[in-house]
């Protein structure tokens, strides 16, 4: 009796499923690693204006100045305060 034929032809489907599952796992791992290492789309220069909350505060300040709600002196004073480290 030969031991290489113990599974017969019925056991071959399992090998194909195992290879397919391994290939899918490798692709998923590669996509995950690429997404993990990719930049988020925002350029972070390390400056104080890179904070989203600060950026929002500066945008509000600029909008108020543009609408004439605050004077130039107030605008410059508040902007300097917001940009302090």
pLDDT tens readout for residues 18-49: 899 999 999 999 999 998 887 765 544 444 45
Angle at Cα 8 formed by Cα 20 and Cα 26, nearest 5°?
10
Q: How far apart are the first and last CA of the chain?
A: 82
Q: Per-domain residue ranges for the chain?
A: 8-37, 48-82
Instruction: Please tell me the pTM assigned to this model.
Output: 0.38
Mean pLDDT of 6-24: 77
Backbone phi, then psi, for 27, in 5-degree steps?
-65, -45
């Amino acid at each position: 009796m030969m031991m290489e034929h113990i599974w017969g032809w019925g056991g071959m489907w399992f090998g194909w499923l195992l290879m397919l599952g391994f290939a899918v796992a490798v692709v998923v791992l590669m996509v995950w690693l690429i997404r993990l290492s990719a930049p988020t789309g925002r350029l972070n220069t390390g400056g104080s204006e890179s904070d989203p909350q600060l950026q929002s505060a500066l945008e509000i300040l600029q909008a108020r100045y543009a609408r004439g709600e605050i004077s130039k002196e107030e605008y410059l004073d508040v902007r300097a305060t917001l940009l302090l480290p």
